[in-house]
Chains A and B, each alone.
Chain A
Amino acid sequence: MEYEIVIGMEIHVELGTKTKIFCSCPTEFGQDENTHTCPVCLGMPGVLPVLNEKVVEYATRAGLALNCEIAHFSKMDRKNYFYPDLPKAYQTSQFDLPICTGGAVGIEVDGVKKDIGITRIHIEEDAGKLLHESADGTLLDVNRCGVPLIEIVTEPDLRSAEEARAFAEKVRNILEYTGVSDCKMEQGSMRFDVNLSIREKGTEVLGTRTEMKNLNSFRALIRAVQYESKRQIIELKKGREIIQETRKWDDTKGVSSSLRSKEEAHDYRYFPEPDLVPIVLEPSYIERIKSKLPELPEAKKKRYVEEYKLPEYDAGVLTTTGVTARFFEEAVALYNEPKQISNWMMVEIPPLLKENEQSMETITITPALLVELLKLVRDKVISGTSGKEVLKEMFVSGKNAGDIVKEQGLAQMSDTGELEAIIEKIVADNPKSVEDIGAGNEKAYGFLTGQVMKATKGKANAQVANEIIRAVVARHLA
Protein backbone atom coordinates (compact mmCIF):
# COMPACT_ATOMS: atom_id res chain seq x y z
CA MET A 1 0.00 0.00 0.00
CA GLU A 2 1.24 3.46 -0.80
CA TYR A 3 0.95 6.04 1.97
CA GLU A 4 0.41 9.76 1.74
CA ILE A 5 1.52 12.30 4.35
CA VAL A 6 -1.00 15.01 5.16
CA ILE A 7 0.24 18.10 6.95
CA GLY A 8 -1.42 21.26 8.18
CA MET A 9 0.57 23.99 9.86
CA GLU A 10 0.01 26.72 12.38
CA ILE A 11 2.60 29.48 12.25
CA HIS A 12 2.94 31.92 15.13
CA VAL A 13 4.60 35.20 14.20
CA GLU A 14 5.46 37.98 16.64
CA LEU A 15 4.50 41.34 15.18
CA GLY A 16 7.15 44.06 15.13
CA THR A 17 5.17 46.67 17.05
CA LYS A 18 6.93 48.89 19.56
CA THR A 19 4.51 48.00 22.35
CA LYS A 20 2.51 45.01 23.49
CA ILE A 21 -0.94 44.16 22.20
CA PHE A 22 -3.01 45.43 25.15
CA CYS A 23 -0.65 47.68 27.13
CA SER A 24 2.15 50.19 26.52
CA CYS A 25 5.06 48.01 27.67
CA PRO A 26 7.86 47.63 25.10
CA THR A 27 8.19 44.36 23.17
CA GLU A 28 11.98 44.52 22.98
CA PHE A 29 13.67 41.11 23.13
CA GLY A 30 16.47 40.07 25.46
CA GLN A 31 15.88 42.40 28.42
CA ASP A 32 16.29 41.53 32.10
CA GLU A 33 13.49 39.33 33.43
CA ASN A 34 10.28 41.08 34.48
CA THR A 35 11.37 44.60 33.62
CA HIS A 36 8.81 45.10 30.82
CA THR A 37 5.62 44.64 32.74
CA CYS A 38 2.67 46.66 33.99
CA PRO A 39 -0.55 45.83 35.84
CA VAL A 40 -2.25 44.92 32.52
CA CYS A 41 0.24 42.30 31.30
CA LEU A 42 0.75 41.04 34.85
CA GLY A 43 -2.96 40.22 34.91
CA MET A 44 -3.75 42.33 37.97
CA PRO A 45 -7.41 42.46 38.94
CA GLY A 46 -9.43 45.41 37.71
CA VAL A 47 -7.22 46.46 34.80
CA LEU A 48 -8.55 47.04 31.31
CA PRO A 49 -6.74 46.06 28.10
CA VAL A 50 -6.79 48.43 25.09
CA LEU A 51 -5.93 47.08 21.64
CA ASN A 52 -2.82 48.47 19.92
CA GLU A 53 -3.91 49.99 16.57
CA LYS A 54 -0.68 48.81 14.91
CA VAL A 55 -1.62 45.20 15.65
CA VAL A 56 -4.77 45.60 13.60
CA GLU A 57 -2.83 47.34 10.82
CA TYR A 58 -0.06 44.70 10.73
CA ALA A 59 -2.49 41.78 10.84
CA THR A 60 -4.44 43.36 7.97
CA ARG A 61 -1.24 43.90 6.01
CA ALA A 62 -0.11 40.30 6.62
CA GLY A 63 -3.55 39.01 5.61
CA LEU A 64 -3.54 40.99 2.37
CA ALA A 65 0.01 39.85 1.53
CA LEU A 66 -1.11 36.24 2.05
CA ASN A 67 -4.16 36.75 -0.20
CA CYS A 68 -6.74 36.59 2.59
CA GLU A 69 -10.15 38.18 2.95
CA ILE A 70 -10.07 40.82 5.68
CA ALA A 71 -13.07 40.56 7.97
CA HIS A 72 -15.37 43.57 8.18
CA PHE A 73 -16.26 42.49 11.73
CA SER A 74 -14.04 40.55 14.09
CA LYS A 75 -13.72 40.25 17.84
CA MET A 76 -11.46 39.03 20.60
CA ASP A 77 -12.20 35.98 22.76
CA ARG A 78 -10.84 34.40 25.91
CA LYS A 79 -9.17 31.03 25.65
CA ASN A 80 -9.10 29.56 29.14
CA TYR A 81 -6.36 27.29 30.38
CA PHE A 82 -4.33 26.73 33.49
CA TYR A 83 -0.66 27.05 32.85
CA PRO A 84 1.58 29.51 34.68
CA ASP A 85 2.98 31.09 31.49
CA LEU A 86 -0.11 33.36 31.45
CA PRO A 87 -0.87 35.16 34.71
CA LYS A 88 -4.53 35.75 33.73
CA ALA A 89 -5.21 31.99 33.31
CA TYR A 90 -6.56 32.79 29.86
CA GLN A 91 -5.10 33.94 26.60
CA THR A 92 -6.82 36.73 24.73
CA SER A 93 -7.18 35.43 21.19
CA GLN A 94 -9.78 35.20 18.44
CA PHE A 95 -12.12 32.24 18.15
CA ASP A 96 -15.00 32.24 15.69
CA LEU A 97 -14.51 35.61 14.01
CA PRO A 98 -10.82 36.01 13.15
CA ILE A 99 -9.49 39.09 11.37
CA CYS A 100 -8.46 37.21 8.16
CA THR A 101 -9.83 34.16 6.38
CA GLY A 102 -9.35 32.17 3.20
CA GLY A 103 -5.92 32.98 1.80
CA ALA A 104 -3.40 31.05 -0.28
CA VAL A 105 0.34 30.96 -0.88
CA GLY A 106 1.97 29.46 -3.94
CA ILE A 107 4.99 27.20 -3.46
CA GLU A 108 7.29 25.33 -5.82
CA VAL A 109 9.08 22.08 -4.95
CA ASP A 110 11.13 20.19 -7.57
CA GLY A 111 9.59 22.27 -10.32
CA VAL A 112 6.02 21.47 -9.25
CA LYS A 113 3.91 24.48 -8.34
CA LYS A 114 0.94 24.33 -6.00
CA ASP A 115 -1.19 26.57 -3.82
CA ILE A 116 -1.37 26.04 -0.07
CA GLY A 117 -4.65 27.23 1.40
CA ILE A 118 -4.71 29.46 4.44
CA THR A 119 -7.78 28.83 6.56
CA ARG A 120 -7.47 31.87 8.80
CA ILE A 121 -5.17 34.33 10.52
CA HIS A 122 -6.05 35.59 13.96
CA ILE A 123 -4.43 37.96 16.43
CA GLU A 124 -3.57 37.00 19.98
CA GLU A 125 -1.12 37.65 22.80
CA ASP A 126 2.07 35.73 23.41
CA ALA A 127 2.59 33.95 26.73
CA GLY A 128 5.40 34.49 29.23
CA LYS A 129 8.56 32.46 29.40
CA LEU A 130 8.96 29.63 31.91
CA LEU A 131 12.50 29.00 33.09
CA HIS A 132 13.23 25.61 34.56
CA GLU A 133 16.32 26.69 36.42
CA SER A 134 15.19 26.69 40.01
CA ALA A 135 15.87 23.67 42.20
CA ASP A 136 12.38 23.49 43.68
CA GLY A 137 10.06 25.38 41.37
CA THR A 138 9.52 26.98 37.98
CA LEU A 139 10.39 30.61 37.28
CA LEU A 140 8.26 32.96 35.21
CA ASP A 141 9.42 35.93 33.14
CA VAL A 142 6.42 38.04 32.10
CA ASN A 143 8.30 40.26 29.59
CA ARG A 144 6.96 38.31 26.60
CA CYS A 145 3.40 38.20 27.97
CA GLY A 146 1.26 40.33 25.69
CA VAL A 147 3.70 40.59 22.79
CA PRO A 148 1.37 40.60 19.77
CA LEU A 149 1.18 37.49 17.62
CA ILE A 150 -0.61 36.46 14.50
CA GLU A 151 -1.38 32.78 14.10
CA ILE A 152 -1.57 31.59 10.50
CA VAL A 153 -3.54 28.35 10.13
CA THR A 154 -3.28 26.36 6.89
CA GLU A 155 -5.51 23.82 5.23
CA PRO A 156 -4.13 20.24 5.34
CA ASP A 157 -2.61 20.84 1.88
CA LEU A 158 1.05 19.98 2.52
CA ARG A 159 2.32 16.54 1.50
CA SER A 160 6.00 16.39 2.48
CA ALA A 161 8.71 17.89 4.67
CA GLU A 162 9.98 19.75 1.60
CA GLU A 163 6.60 21.31 0.95
CA ALA A 164 6.30 22.29 4.61
CA ARG A 165 9.69 23.94 4.42
CA ALA A 166 8.97 25.70 1.14
CA PHE A 167 5.70 27.02 2.55
CA ALA A 168 7.24 28.17 5.84
CA GLU A 169 10.06 29.93 3.99
CA LYS A 170 7.65 31.60 1.61
CA VAL A 171 5.52 32.89 4.46
CA ARG A 172 8.61 34.18 6.25
CA ASN A 173 9.82 35.99 3.14
CA ILE A 174 6.46 37.59 2.49
CA LEU A 175 6.05 38.74 6.09
CA GLU A 176 9.61 40.06 6.21
CA TYR A 177 8.94 42.01 3.00
CA THR A 178 5.77 43.54 4.40
CA GLY A 179 7.66 44.64 7.50
CA VAL A 180 5.14 43.28 9.99
CA SER A 181 7.77 41.11 11.71
CA ASP A 182 11.52 40.65 11.76
CA CYS A 183 10.80 36.88 11.58
CA LYS A 184 13.91 36.13 13.63
CA MET A 185 13.61 32.46 14.32
CA GLU A 186 16.49 32.41 16.80
CA GLN A 187 14.57 34.90 18.95
CA GLY A 188 11.33 32.98 18.71
CA SER A 189 9.67 35.57 16.46
CA MET A 190 8.41 32.74 14.28
CA ARG A 191 7.36 29.28 15.51
CA PHE A 192 5.74 26.35 13.73
CA ASP A 193 3.15 23.83 14.91
CA VAL A 194 2.65 20.79 12.70
CA ASN A 195 -0.46 18.60 12.46
CA LEU A 196 0.42 15.38 10.70
CA SER A 197 -1.49 12.29 9.65
CA ILE A 198 -1.08 9.45 7.19
CA ARG A 199 -3.61 8.00 4.78
CA GLU A 200 -3.69 5.56 1.93
CA LYS A 201 -2.81 7.38 -1.26
CA GLY A 202 -5.86 8.12 -3.34
CA THR A 203 -8.28 8.21 -0.40
CA GLU A 204 -9.97 11.37 0.80
CA VAL A 205 -10.61 10.66 4.48
CA LEU A 206 -8.02 12.09 6.86
CA GLY A 207 -6.19 9.76 9.23
CA THR A 208 -5.77 10.37 12.96
CA ARG A 209 -3.35 13.22 13.46
CA THR A 210 -0.72 14.13 16.00
CA GLU A 211 0.44 17.64 16.76
CA MET A 212 3.98 18.90 17.36
CA LYS A 213 4.25 22.40 18.78
CA ASN A 214 6.84 25.17 18.81
CA LEU A 215 9.31 24.00 16.19
CA ASN A 216 11.65 26.97 16.05
CA SER A 217 13.82 26.42 12.97
CA PHE A 218 13.39 25.18 9.40
CA ARG A 219 15.74 22.33 10.27
CA ALA A 220 13.59 21.29 13.23
CA LEU A 221 10.48 21.54 11.03
CA ILE A 222 11.90 19.25 8.35
CA ARG A 223 13.33 16.71 10.75
CA ALA A 224 10.21 16.60 12.90
CA VAL A 225 8.01 15.99 9.85
CA GLN A 226 10.33 13.29 8.51
CA TYR A 227 10.54 11.51 11.85
CA GLU A 228 6.87 11.71 12.71
CA SER A 229 5.65 10.59 9.27
CA LYS A 230 8.01 7.62 9.35
CA ARG A 231 6.88 6.73 12.88
CA GLN A 232 3.21 6.81 11.93
CA ILE A 233 3.76 4.72 8.79
CA ILE A 234 5.60 2.09 10.82
CA GLU A 235 2.76 2.02 13.37
CA LEU A 236 0.19 1.58 10.61
CA LYS A 237 2.21 -1.15 8.90
CA LYS A 238 2.28 -3.00 12.20
CA GLY A 239 -1.49 -2.76 12.27
CA ARG A 240 -1.53 -0.34 15.21
CA GLU A 241 -3.70 2.70 15.57
CA ILE A 242 -2.39 6.24 15.70
CA ILE A 243 -3.33 7.97 18.94
CA GLN A 244 -4.48 11.56 18.63
CA GLU A 245 -2.09 13.43 20.88
CA THR A 246 0.37 16.27 21.26
CA ARG A 247 3.94 15.11 20.82
CA LYS A 248 7.10 16.87 21.84
CA TRP A 249 9.89 17.20 19.28
CA ASP A 250 13.35 16.85 20.80
CA ASP A 251 15.66 18.48 18.28
CA THR A 252 18.84 17.33 20.00
CA LYS A 253 17.87 13.66 20.05
CA GLY A 254 15.94 13.89 16.78
CA VAL A 255 12.87 12.07 18.12
CA SER A 256 9.28 12.94 19.00
CA SER A 257 7.67 11.60 22.13
CA SER A 258 4.17 11.54 23.56
CA LEU A 259 3.24 14.27 26.02
CA ARG A 260 1.04 12.06 28.17
CA SER A 261 0.69 14.74 30.81
CA LYS A 262 -1.33 16.84 28.39
CA GLU A 263 -3.53 14.06 27.10
CA GLU A 264 -6.47 15.34 29.11
CA ALA A 265 -8.70 16.75 26.40
CA HIS A 266 -8.41 20.50 26.04
CA ASP A 267 -11.59 22.38 26.60
CA TYR A 268 -10.72 26.04 26.32
CA ARG A 269 -14.25 27.32 27.02
CA TYR A 270 -13.82 30.21 24.61
CA PHE A 271 -16.12 33.15 25.17
CA PRO A 272 -16.19 36.73 23.84
CA GLU A 273 -13.76 39.00 25.68
CA PRO A 274 -16.00 41.43 27.55
CA ASP A 275 -13.17 43.92 28.15
CA LEU A 276 -12.43 44.50 24.45
CA VAL A 277 -14.83 45.81 21.85
CA PRO A 278 -15.24 44.43 18.32
CA ILE A 279 -12.96 45.46 15.45
CA VAL A 280 -14.85 46.85 12.48
CA LEU A 281 -12.80 47.55 9.37
CA GLU A 282 -14.27 49.61 6.55
CA PRO A 283 -13.36 48.84 2.93
CA SER A 284 -11.61 52.23 2.73
CA TYR A 285 -9.27 51.24 5.60
CA ILE A 286 -8.45 47.90 3.95
CA GLU A 287 -7.94 49.62 0.59
CA ARG A 288 -5.54 52.13 2.15
CA ILE A 289 -3.40 49.36 3.64
CA LYS A 290 -3.50 47.43 0.39
CA SER A 291 -2.26 50.44 -1.56
CA LYS A 292 0.76 50.72 0.75
CA LEU A 293 1.85 47.08 0.42
CA PRO A 294 5.41 46.83 -0.88
CA GLU A 295 6.34 44.82 -3.96
CA LEU A 296 6.22 41.17 -2.81
CA PRO A 297 8.85 38.50 -3.61
CA GLU A 298 6.92 36.94 -6.50
CA ALA A 299 6.39 40.25 -8.31
CA LYS A 300 9.95 41.35 -7.62
CA LYS A 301 11.35 38.13 -9.04
CA LYS A 302 9.34 38.61 -12.21
CA ARG A 303 10.52 42.18 -12.53
CA TYR A 304 14.19 41.21 -12.07
CA VAL A 305 13.88 38.79 -14.98
CA GLU A 306 12.14 41.33 -17.20
CA GLU A 307 13.84 44.56 -16.21
CA TYR A 308 17.37 43.37 -15.40
CA LYS A 309 17.38 40.40 -17.80
CA LEU A 310 18.55 38.13 -15.00
CA PRO A 311 18.15 34.35 -15.19
CA GLU A 312 15.18 33.13 -13.15
CA TYR A 313 17.54 31.41 -10.74
CA ASP A 314 19.39 34.64 -9.94
CA ALA A 315 16.14 36.53 -9.55
CA GLY A 316 14.88 33.88 -7.15
CA VAL A 317 17.97 33.99 -4.96
CA LEU A 318 18.17 37.78 -4.87
CA THR A 319 14.52 38.16 -3.86
CA THR A 320 14.62 35.54 -1.13
CA THR A 321 14.75 38.16 1.56
CA GLY A 322 13.90 41.83 1.58
CA VAL A 323 17.36 42.90 2.73
CA THR A 324 19.08 41.01 -0.08
CA ALA A 325 16.75 42.54 -2.66
CA ARG A 326 17.28 46.04 -1.24
CA PHE A 327 21.07 45.57 -1.36
CA PHE A 328 20.86 44.46 -4.98
CA GLU A 329 18.58 47.29 -6.01
CA GLU A 330 20.78 49.91 -4.38
CA ALA A 331 23.82 48.49 -6.15
CA VAL A 332 22.07 48.42 -9.52
CA ALA A 333 20.97 52.03 -9.06
CA LEU A 334 24.65 53.01 -8.72
CA TYR A 335 26.01 50.73 -11.41
CA ASN A 336 23.87 49.31 -14.18
CA GLU A 337 25.48 45.86 -14.46
CA PRO A 338 22.82 43.60 -12.88
CA LYS A 339 24.39 40.30 -13.90
CA GLN A 340 27.86 41.20 -12.62
CA ILE A 341 26.38 42.39 -9.31
CA SER A 342 24.23 39.28 -9.10
CA ASN A 343 27.24 37.00 -9.66
CA TRP A 344 29.23 38.62 -6.90
CA MET A 345 26.27 38.66 -4.53
CA MET A 346 25.46 35.01 -5.12
CA VAL A 347 28.96 33.52 -5.38
CA GLU A 348 31.51 35.68 -3.58
CA ILE A 349 29.58 37.34 -0.76
CA PRO A 350 27.87 34.36 0.95
CA PRO A 351 31.08 32.50 1.98
CA LEU A 352 32.61 35.77 3.21
CA LEU A 353 29.51 36.50 5.29
CA LYS A 354 29.91 33.12 6.92
CA GLU A 355 33.65 33.56 7.47
CA ASN A 356 33.11 36.95 9.12
CA GLU A 357 30.03 35.90 11.10
CA GLN A 358 27.80 38.36 9.30
CA SER A 359 24.51 38.06 7.47
CA MET A 360 22.80 40.24 4.86
CA GLU A 361 21.13 41.96 7.83
CA THR A 362 24.47 42.86 9.43
CA ILE A 363 26.75 43.08 6.39
CA THR A 364 29.45 45.75 6.73
CA ILE A 365 29.98 46.16 2.99
CA THR A 366 27.55 48.69 1.55
CA PRO A 367 26.20 48.45 -2.00
CA ALA A 368 28.34 51.53 -2.84
CA LEU A 369 31.51 49.82 -1.62
CA LEU A 370 30.78 46.72 -3.66
CA VAL A 371 30.10 48.82 -6.74
CA GLU A 372 33.43 50.62 -6.36
CA LEU A 373 35.17 47.24 -6.40
CA LEU A 374 33.21 45.95 -9.39
CA LYS A 375 34.12 49.06 -11.39
CA LEU A 376 37.82 48.40 -10.73
CA VAL A 377 37.35 44.91 -12.14
CA ARG A 378 35.35 46.18 -15.12
CA ASP A 379 38.00 48.78 -15.94
CA LYS A 380 40.66 46.05 -15.70
CA VAL A 381 42.52 47.98 -12.99
CA ILE A 382 42.54 44.67 -11.14
CA SER A 383 41.83 41.15 -12.32
CA GLY A 384 38.75 39.23 -11.24
CA THR A 385 40.96 37.02 -9.10
CA SER A 386 42.46 40.01 -7.32
CA GLY A 387 38.97 41.42 -6.94
CA LYS A 388 37.98 38.43 -4.84
CA GLU A 389 41.01 38.99 -2.61
CA VAL A 390 40.17 42.66 -2.28
CA LEU A 391 36.58 41.83 -1.28
CA LYS A 392 37.89 39.47 1.37
CA GLU A 393 40.10 42.24 2.72
CA MET A 394 37.20 44.72 2.64
CA PHE A 395 35.25 42.43 4.98
CA VAL A 396 38.16 42.07 7.38
CA SER A 397 39.53 45.63 7.48
CA GLY A 398 36.50 47.65 6.44
CA LYS A 399 38.68 49.61 3.99
CA ASN A 400 37.45 50.52 0.53
CA ALA A 401 38.59 48.71 -2.59
CA GLY A 402 40.69 51.57 -4.03
CA ASP A 403 42.82 51.86 -0.88
CA ILE A 404 43.36 48.12 -0.64
CA VAL A 405 44.46 47.94 -4.29
CA LYS A 406 46.96 50.77 -3.70
CA GLU A 407 48.31 49.42 -0.41
CA GLN A 408 48.80 45.88 -1.67
CA GLY A 409 49.98 46.86 -5.13
CA LEU A 410 47.27 44.77 -6.73
CA ALA A 411 46.79 46.95 -9.79
CA GLN A 412 46.87 44.78 -12.83
CA MET A 413 50.06 44.40 -14.85
CA SER A 414 49.22 45.43 -18.40
CA ASP A 415 52.67 46.75 -19.14
CA THR A 416 53.70 44.47 -22.03
CA GLY A 417 57.43 45.01 -21.54
CA GLU A 418 57.40 43.82 -17.94
CA LEU A 419 55.10 40.92 -18.74
CA GLU A 420 57.16 39.88 -21.76
CA ALA A 421 60.28 39.50 -19.63
CA ILE A 422 58.43 37.27 -17.15
CA ILE A 423 56.84 35.19 -19.89
CA GLU A 424 60.10 34.74 -21.80
CA LYS A 425 61.62 33.23 -18.68
CA ILE A 426 58.65 30.93 -17.98
CA VAL A 427 58.53 29.63 -21.53
CA ALA A 428 62.31 29.03 -21.51
CA ASP A 429 62.00 27.17 -18.19
CA ASN A 430 59.23 24.89 -19.50
CA PRO A 431 60.41 23.35 -22.78
CA LYS A 432 58.11 20.34 -22.21
CA SER A 433 55.04 22.58 -22.43
CA VAL A 434 56.29 24.17 -25.61
CA GLU A 435 56.87 20.70 -27.05
CA ASP A 436 53.36 19.63 -26.05
CA ILE A 437 51.87 22.66 -27.74
CA GLY A 438 53.89 21.87 -30.83
CA ALA A 439 52.39 18.34 -30.72
CA GLY A 440 48.92 19.87 -30.73
CA ASN A 441 48.14 19.81 -27.01
CA GLU A 442 46.43 23.16 -26.47
CA LYS A 443 45.96 22.43 -22.76
CA ALA A 444 49.61 23.23 -22.15
CA TYR A 445 48.72 26.91 -22.68
CA GLY A 446 46.66 26.73 -19.52
CA PHE A 447 49.65 25.53 -17.56
CA LEU A 448 51.80 28.40 -18.84
CA THR A 449 49.07 30.95 -18.03
CA GLY A 450 48.91 29.51 -14.54
CA GLN A 451 52.66 29.95 -14.13
CA VAL A 452 52.41 33.57 -15.25
CA MET A 453 49.61 34.26 -12.74
CA LYS A 454 51.68 32.63 -10.04
CA ALA A 455 54.74 34.68 -10.88
CA THR A 456 52.74 37.93 -10.92
CA LYS A 457 50.61 37.01 -7.90
CA GLY A 458 47.51 37.13 -10.08
CA LYS A 459 48.19 40.66 -11.22
CA ALA A 460 48.81 39.91 -14.87
CA ASN A 461 46.08 41.09 -17.19
CA ALA A 462 44.95 37.67 -18.39
CA GLN A 463 44.09 38.75 -21.91
CA VAL A 464 47.37 40.59 -22.48
CA ALA A 465 49.34 37.71 -20.91
CA ASN A 466 47.68 35.15 -23.19
CA GLU A 467 48.53 37.10 -26.30
CA ILE A 468 52.18 37.37 -25.27
CA ILE A 469 52.39 33.67 -24.33
CA ARG A 470 51.10 32.65 -27.75
CA ALA A 471 53.59 34.94 -29.49
CA VAL A 472 56.57 33.73 -27.43
CA VAL A 473 55.65 30.04 -27.81
CA ALA A 474 55.23 30.49 -31.56
CA ARG A 475 58.71 32.02 -31.72
CA HIS A 476 60.18 29.04 -29.79
CA LEU A 477 58.47 26.55 -32.09
CA ALA A 478 59.52 28.33 -35.27
Chain B
Amino acid sequence: MSLTREDVTYVANLARLEFSEDEVTALADQLGAVLDYAETLSGLDTSHIKATEHVLAVQNVFREDEIKSCLTNEEALANAPESEAGCFKVPRVME
Protein backbone atom coordinates (compact mmCIF):
# COMPACT_ATOMS: atom_id res chain seq x y z
CA MET B 1 0.00 0.00 0.00
CA SER B 2 1.46 3.34 -1.06
CA LEU B 3 -0.45 5.60 1.34
CA THR B 4 0.02 5.71 5.11
CA ARG B 5 -2.53 6.71 7.73
CA GLU B 6 -0.33 9.77 8.44
CA ASP B 7 -0.60 10.83 4.80
CA VAL B 8 -4.39 10.64 5.01
CA THR B 9 -4.54 12.62 8.25
CA TYR B 10 -2.20 15.27 6.82
CA VAL B 11 -4.19 15.75 3.63
CA ALA B 12 -7.46 15.68 5.57
CA ASN B 13 -6.17 18.45 7.79
CA LEU B 14 -5.18 20.58 4.78
CA ALA B 15 -8.67 20.11 3.36
CA ARG B 16 -10.26 20.75 6.75
CA LEU B 17 -11.88 17.31 6.82
CA GLU B 18 -12.34 15.14 9.89
CA PHE B 19 -12.39 11.34 9.85
CA SER B 20 -12.78 8.61 12.44
CA GLU B 21 -9.95 6.11 13.00
CA ASP B 22 -11.80 3.50 10.93
CA GLU B 23 -12.38 5.95 8.10
CA VAL B 24 -8.70 6.89 8.03
CA THR B 25 -7.75 3.23 7.69
CA ALA B 26 -10.32 2.69 4.94
CA LEU B 27 -9.24 5.81 3.06
CA ALA B 28 -5.57 4.91 3.27
CA ASP B 29 -6.50 1.63 1.60
CA GLN B 30 -8.77 3.07 -1.04
CA LEU B 31 -6.69 6.14 -1.95
CA GLY B 32 -3.58 3.96 -1.87
CA ALA B 33 -5.16 1.65 -4.42
CA VAL B 34 -5.99 4.61 -6.68
CA LEU B 35 -2.42 5.89 -6.47
CA ASP B 36 -1.00 2.42 -7.10
CA TYR B 37 -3.14 2.15 -10.22
CA ALA B 38 -1.97 5.56 -11.47
CA GLU B 39 1.57 4.46 -10.71
CA THR B 40 1.41 1.93 -13.59
CA LEU B 41 2.00 4.94 -15.89
CA SER B 42 5.50 5.24 -14.46
CA GLY B 43 6.33 1.97 -16.16
CA LEU B 44 6.14 3.66 -19.55
CA ASP B 45 9.16 5.18 -21.27
CA THR B 46 8.27 8.87 -21.64
CA SER B 47 11.79 10.14 -22.32
CA HIS B 48 10.86 11.08 -25.90
CA ILE B 49 7.60 12.85 -24.94
CA LYS B 50 7.46 16.57 -24.18
CA ALA B 51 6.35 17.36 -20.62
CA THR B 52 2.72 18.40 -20.34
CA GLU B 53 2.62 21.85 -18.76
CA HIS B 54 -1.09 22.26 -19.20
CA VAL B 55 -3.89 19.98 -20.33
CA LEU B 56 -5.47 22.42 -22.78
CA ALA B 57 -3.97 22.89 -26.22
CA VAL B 58 -5.35 26.44 -26.40
CA GLN B 59 -3.23 29.47 -25.52
CA ASN B 60 -3.46 33.25 -25.05
CA VAL B 61 -7.13 33.76 -24.28
CA PHE B 62 -7.30 37.37 -23.14
CA ARG B 63 -9.92 40.04 -22.60
CA GLU B 64 -9.62 43.78 -23.17
CA ASP B 65 -9.09 46.01 -20.17
CA GLU B 66 -12.59 47.48 -20.27
CA ILE B 67 -14.85 48.13 -17.31
CA LYS B 68 -18.23 46.42 -17.31
CA SER B 69 -21.02 46.76 -14.80
CA CYS B 70 -20.66 45.24 -11.34
CA LEU B 71 -23.16 43.82 -8.90
CA THR B 72 -24.69 46.23 -6.43
CA ASN B 73 -23.77 45.84 -2.80
CA GLU B 74 -27.17 44.25 -2.11
CA GLU B 75 -26.78 41.79 -4.98
CA ALA B 76 -23.25 40.88 -3.88
CA LEU B 77 -24.41 40.14 -0.35
CA ALA B 78 -27.68 38.44 -1.36
CA ASN B 79 -26.39 34.92 -0.73
CA ALA B 80 -24.22 35.72 2.26
CA PRO B 81 -25.22 33.69 5.33
CA GLU B 82 -24.29 36.73 7.41
CA SER B 83 -23.47 40.32 6.58
CA GLU B 84 -22.83 43.58 8.41
CA ALA B 85 -22.06 47.15 7.35
CA GLY B 86 -22.05 46.25 3.66
CA CYS B 87 -19.58 43.42 4.20
CA PHE B 88 -19.57 39.65 4.29
CA LYS B 89 -19.36 38.52 7.87
CA VAL B 90 -17.27 35.47 8.74
CA PRO B 91 -16.25 33.90 12.06
CA ARG B 92 -13.63 36.04 13.76
CA VAL B 93 -10.10 35.54 12.45
CA MET B 94 -6.99 36.78 14.16
CA GLU B 95 -4.25 38.57 12.26
Chain A residues with a Cβ under 8 A of chain B: 17-19, 24-26, 32-39, 42, 50-54, 56, 73, 75, 80, 82-84, 87, 97, 130-134, 136-142, 248, 259, 261, 267, 269, 272, 274, 276-280
Q: Contact at B87–A139, with CB atoms within 8 Å?
A: yes
Q: Quick one: closest A residue to B90, CB to CB?
A: A84
B48 interfacial contact with A, CB 8 Å: no
Q: Quick one: closest A residue to B89, CB to CB?
A: A137
Apart from A33-B73, A278-B60: 17 A-B pairs, beta carbons within 8 A: A18-B65, A24-B63, A33-B87, A38-B70, A53-B62, A75-B53, A83-B93, A84-B88, A97-B53, A131-B87, A134-B92, A136-B92, A137-B91, A139-B87, A139-B88, A141-B87, A278-B53
Q: Contact at B62–A51, with CB atoms within 8 Å?
A: yes
- Sample 8 A-B pairs with CB under 8 A, ordered by A number: A34-B86, A35-B70, A54-B65, A139-B89, A141-B86, A272-B55, A279-B59, A280-B60
Residues of chain B within 8 A (CB-CB) of A139 are 84-85, 87-90
A272 to B54, CA, bound (A): 7
A18 to B65, CA, bound (A): 6
Q: Contact at A33–B86, with CB atoms within 8 Å?
A: yes
Residues of chain B within 8 A (CB-CB) of A133 are 85
A83 to B95, CA, bound (A): 11
Q: Quick one: closest B residue to A75, CB to CB?
A: B54
Q: Quick one: closest A residue to B65, CB to CB?
A: A54
Given A33-B73, A34-B73, A42-B76, A130 contacting B65 (CB threshold 8 A): no
A276 to B91, CA, bound (A): 31
Q: Quick one: closest A residue to B56, CB to CB?
A: A277
Residues of chain A within 8 A (CB-CB) of B49 are none
Q: Contact at B90–A35, with CB atoms within 8 Å?
A: no
* Those of B22-52 within 8 Å (CB) of chain A: none
Shortest B12–chain A CB gap in Å is 12
Given A33-B73, A34-B76, A277-B61, A19 contacting B89 (CB threshold 8 A): no
B contact face: mostly helix, strand, loop, or mixed: loop
Pick the contact of A53: B54, B64, B91 (CB < 8 A).
B64
Residues of chain B within 8 A (CB-CB) of A261 are 94
Given A18-B66, A97-B53, A137 contacting B73 (CB threshold 8 A): no
Residues of chain A within 8 A (CB-CB) of B14 are 80, 267, 269
Q: Contact at A280–B59, with CB atoms within 8 Å?
A: yes
Give the B interface residue count (CB, 8 A). Answer: 36
A38 to B76, CA, bound (A): 7
Shortest B55–chain A CB gap in Å is 7
Residues of chain B within 8 A (CB-CB) of A87 are 88
A259 to B95, CA, bound (A): 8
Q: Contact at B61–A52, with CB atoms within 8 Å?
A: no
Q: Contact at A24–B76, with CB atoms within 8 Å?
A: no
Residues of chain A within 8 A (CB-CB) of B64 are 53
Shortest B48–chain A CB gap in Å is 20
Shortest A229–chain B CB gap in Å is 23
Residues of chain B within 8 A (CB-CB) of A137 are 82, 84, 89-92
Q: Contact at B70–A134, with CB atoms within 8 Å?
A: no
Q: Contact at A34–B87, with CB atoms within 8 Å?
A: yes
B58 interfacial contact with A, CB 8 Å: yes
B20 interfacial contact with A, CB 8 Å: no
B71 interfacial contact with A, CB 8 Å: yes
Pick the contact of B71: A38, A52, A140, A279 (CB < 8 A).
A38
Q: Contact at A17–B65, with CB atoms within 8 Å?
A: yes
